[in-house]
């Protein structure tokens, strides 16, 4: 995404040069260079991610109810080369560990607890995120009867859309939403749209390191943050235009 924007700025600058609009040309070249350095050296992703993640930096204390649901959102799968095995990506590890820790805490409190795993086969690896993560969670000690799987969702919007009827059927008194800190703001907005008000808990937190030399990782983090902001803006724009699916009536999840 960022590379595309940089190329567009350079291309427009080049076109201005053909018309001998030198001031506009060098202004765009300078803007492209400044954007590249701000991204690749860390200031831009650090600023963007701070505003996304800081509300979720401290994990909340959960007061478990009699009926609880922990919703775990997928973060992709990876097919192991020369095998038929499909496993969660490294980006899902923090989410899975946090969801399991919450599940264990809930069970130790003696309460009824379901772990809702949401994610389809967006990477086309032959197994949904839900099924892949469920296998890992069962190996960690989660009772299969406590797992509820949504294997259809291909994006965050569908996570919320397809989890809503599952929670409506289960009728939990407490709902906890687990995903990455940078992803929680957008996920919360989508879940709220479909009548849910889960307690957000981060599975991981990205720290940006400022560097003197440009590096690809900082540019990747910039793209990650921009994807979240664009998703949030698109959601609000679609609401104004009436293009989003109408929200259902709330069912009272706390």
Task: Domains for the chain: give ranges and CATH numbers.
Answer: 53-207+234-241 (3.40.50.620)
For the whole model, what pTM was predicted? 0.91
What's the pLDDT score for residue 7?
Answer: 84
Q: How far apart are CA 185 and CA 88, in angstroms?
A: 23
Q: Per-residue confidence of the chain (254 residues) as pLDDT tens digits?
A: 778 878 887 888 878 787 778 888 888 889 899 999 999 999 999 999 999 999 999 999 999 999 999 999 999 999 998 888 999 999 999 999 999 999 999 999 987 999 999 999 999 999 999 999 999 999 999 999 999 999 999 999 999 999 999 999 999 999 999 999 999 999 999 999 999 999 999 999 999 999 999 999 999 999 999 999 999 999 999 999 999 988 775 544 43
Coil vs helix vs strand at 145: helix
Cα(69)–Cα(196) distance, rounded to whole angstroms?
12
Q: pLDDT value at position 251? A: 45
Which pLDDT does position 116 carry in this prediction?
Answer: 98
Given a contact cutoff of 8 angstroms between Cβ atoms, the answer to whether 188 and 179 are in contact is: no
Rounded-to-integer distance, Cα 16 and Cα 19, Å: 5
Helix residue ranges, H only, the chain: 2-18, 22-40, 43-53, 93-108, 129-140, 156-170, 181-193, 216-241
The C-alpha torsion from 203 through 164 and 195 to 199, rounded to 10°, is: -20
Task: List the structure tokens of 234.
Answer: 């698109």
Distance, in Å, from the CA atom of 33 to the CA atom of 164, rounded to the nearest integer, reads 45
Distance of alpha carbon 171 from alpha carbon 173, whole angstroms: 7
Q: How far is CA 200 from CA 55, 192, 250, in A?
A: 10, 12, 18
- Rounded CA-CA distance 26/17 in Å is 9
CB atoms within 10 A of CB 99: 28
Question: At residue 35, what are phi and psi to the nearest 5 degrees?
Answer: -65, -40
**pLDDT recorded at residue 249:** 59
Give the pLDDT score at 133. Answer: 98
φ and ψ at residue 67, rounded to 5 degrees: -125, 125
Closest CA to 91 of 199, 186, 220, 230: 220
Give yes or no for a contact between 94 and 180, defined as CB atoms under 8 angstroms apart: yes
């Amino acid at each position: 995404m960022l590379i595309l924007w940089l190329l567009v700025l350079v291309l427009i600058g080049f076109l201005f040069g053909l018309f001998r609009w030198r001031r506009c040309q060098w202004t765009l070249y300078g803007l492209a260079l400044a954007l590249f350095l701000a991204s690749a050296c860390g200031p831009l992703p650090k600023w963007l991610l701070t505003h996304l993640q800081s509300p979720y930096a401290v994990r909340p204390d959960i007061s478990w109810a009699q009926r609880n649901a922990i919703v775990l959102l997928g973060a992709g799968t990876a097919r192991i080369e020369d095998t038929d095995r499909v496993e969660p990506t490294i980006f899902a590890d923090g989410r899975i560990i946090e969801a399991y820790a919450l599940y264990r805490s809930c069970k130790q409190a003696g309460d009824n607890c379901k772990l809702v795993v949401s994610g389809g086969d967006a990477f086309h690896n032959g197994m949904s995120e839900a099924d892949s993560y469920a296998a890992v969670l069962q190996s960690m000690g989660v009772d299969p009867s406590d797992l509820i799987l949504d294997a259809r969702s291909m994006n965050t919007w569908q996570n919320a859309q397809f989890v809503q009827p599952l929670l409506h059927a289960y009728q939990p008194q407490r709902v906890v939403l687990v995903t990455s800190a940078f992803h929680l703001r957008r996920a919360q907005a989508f879940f709220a749209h479909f009548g849910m008000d889960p307690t957000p808990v981060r599975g991981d937190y990205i720290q940006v390191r400022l560097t003197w030399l440009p590096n690809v990782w900082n540019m990747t983090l910039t793209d990650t943050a921009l994807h979240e902001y664009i998703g949030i803006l698109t959601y609000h724009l679609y609401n104004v235009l009436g293009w989003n699916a109408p929200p259902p009536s709330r069912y009272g999840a706390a």
